[in-house]
Amino acid sequence: MQYRWQVPEGIALPPGAGGAAIIASLLARRGHATAEECAAFLNPTPRTMADPFLFADLRRAVDRLIVARERGELLAIWGDYDVDGLTSTALLTRAFTGMGLRVRPFIPHRVTDGYGLNIAGIDRLAAEGVGLIVAVDCGISDRAAIAHATARGVEVIVLDHHTVPAEMPAAAAIVNPRRADCAYPFKELAAVGVAHALVRALTAEGFALRGAWDEDEADLLELLELAALGTVADVAPLRGENRAIVAWGLDALRHTAQPGLQALCAVAGIDPARLSAWEIGHALGPRLNAAGRIADGALALRLLLAESFDEALPLAQELDALNRERRRELGRILEEAIALVEQSGPPDDATPILQISGTGWTAGVVGLVAGRLAERYGRPAIVLERGERTSKGSARSIAGFNLVEALAECADLLDHYGGHARAAGLTIANDKLEELRERLLRRARERLTADDLRPTLTLDLDLPLADLGYATVEALARLEPFGHGNPEPLILLRDVGVKWPKASADGKHLFLTANAQGGRAARAPIRCVAFGQGARRPETVGAGVRLDLAGTLRREWWQGEERLSFHVRDFRPAE
């Protein structure tokens, strides 16, 4: 058993309980107590989004954009090289261009420009005649750069969702749901959600997306394609307004007319009609991210703004090749990182946080490595690319340890930091690395217990094997889209007999068939796969073994045929 299992009372359903009982049980477990709450969850709609003018400074941002259009002013949209920043930039570029604004999109280069606003980039844009910068998915911590822009006569509007520092920049407007004085009720939007709210506000003020002087609902829904991509890829919680954005955005994506998205699905081997949040997180998002991680994020933006399939396809193919390179780099660095972590044996409870650094590590990949280490060892991880004098890297955390708060306590050691509770970036002088490690270890020892450091699986349903059919899959689908904040329901199968256990050809994965329960043969055996668990087969799976399985039920297509599969997250000897 790899995880600590939490099996709440009341999750066992009787045989043949049916889809309605499954949905009711899951909704109750996820905190939807009233009929109205259940209906809102099952039928999300953009019409329930709050008035965008509840955002602090939103009116100031709209008024400044009105002036920009009246003057024919050139404005730059300064985004970020991750999917949230890319989709935010593409969304605003499409919308502003359609509204008659003069737009110059700008994506910084991860290596030469770094994250966020910087003085060199501002000077380049000012030299081009830019009088206004709309910074999206960045800017909230860039006080010095914004002060420099102001001195150059360039105003800055900030659209961000990252943690708000104690002292905000002196910008023309700062739109961020996490501001203490922000009345907007939903605080967990990705940056692309904030960008979409600004577009909603502009259309309400008479800005037309395609020439009509009223709010064009169809065009706003089309922009939700990009908003859904950014929201899922940024691992924003899929509840509240994010759930509506992703549900409706996915529906639009399944019929997308945007050439870049069509080409991206084509190279990823995805049928758009079957697109789900899982495909965004595991197929589309990584390909868009690959450009910024190991090349230039502007390549991905060009794809999202492509005007024809012929223009988009070679860009999508290049992103696909970069993604394969990114995966090779991830494997190489992760192997080196694990060796560093375990050079004196696996970390114990006295080491509740990991901090490692290495030379020759690709800056755009260390965040992925940090995420893999946090998942593997069940504790926060900081991974840094060590340069000649400074190190730059990323951190990923677990529940119960707020990274940004921890880094804020060490701000005197850091050249730069920012992010969220669970993900952050930082830059630090090499001679301060050891002191950072010691301070973070002290804080982690104060905050995290031994139980916190063991990954937990919380089971949602206890079902008989005989009930794993298409009716159950269709019932579970009512709760989609799944993701952070609304995870795919974890099913417990008790006392299951298995046969034909075997590892994949590369030894990474485990395949088996669940063909009995409680000693009785099942009417319909089900194929099971345990990804990344091939090495567990010799010790725990064999003829006559009976197991408890924890996993998710999936509908899949294989060689044109539909089938059901149970994806095993963990297993243990039957109790």
Q: For the chain, which domains are there?
A: 4-40+459-573 (2.40.50.460), 47-215 (3.90.1640.30), 342-453 (3.10.310.30)
Smallest CA-to-CA distance from 110 within 295, 359, 322, 299 is with: 295
User: Which burial class, exposed, middle or buried, applies to 192 when counting CB atoms under 10 A from its CB (0-12, 13-18, 19+)?
Assistant: buried
Continuous segment of H or E residues that includes residue 339: helix 309-341
Return phi, psi of residue 125, to 5°: -70, -40
Q: Coil, helix or strand for 217?
A: helix
How many other β-carbons are positioned within 10 Å of the β-carbon of residue 233?
A: 24
State the CB neighbour count (10 A cutoff) for residue 179: 18
User: What is d(CA 450, CA 455) in angstroms, rounded to the nearest whole number?
Assistant: 10
Closest to 85 measured CA to CA, from 286, 293, 230, 193 = 230
Structure tokens at 498: 């298995």
How far is it, in rounded angstroms, from Cα 396 to Cα 407? 12
Residue type, 119: I
- Give the integer Cα–Cα distance in Å for 383 and 390: 13
Distance of alpha carbon 431 from alpha carbon 346, whole angstroms: 26
SS3 state at 141: coil
- Which pLDDT tens digits describe the chain residue by residue (575 residues)? 578 899 999 899 998 888 999 999 999 999 998 999 999 999 999 888 999 999 999 999 999 999 999 999 999 999 999 999 999 999 999 999 999 999 999 999 988 888 889 999 999 999 999 999 999 999 999 999 999 999 999 999 999 999 899 899 999 999 999 999 999 999 999 999 999 999 999 998 888 755 443 445 556 778 999 999 999 999 999 999 999 999 999 999 999 999 999 999 999 999 999 899 999 999 999 999 999 999 999 999 999 999 999 999 999 999 999 999 999 999 999 999 999 999 978 898 889 999 999 999 988 899 999 999 998 899 999 999 999 999 999 999 998 899 999 999 999 999 988 888 889 999 999 999 999 999 999 999 999 998 888 888 999 999 999 999 999 999 999 999 999 999 999 999 999 998 878 888 888 899 989 998 888 887 788 999 999 888 886 556 666 678 999 999 998 877 778 889 999 999 998 87
Any idea what the Cα angle at residue 416 is, between residues 369 and 189, rounded to 5°? 70
| Residue 537 near residue 502 (C-beta atoms within 8 A) | yes
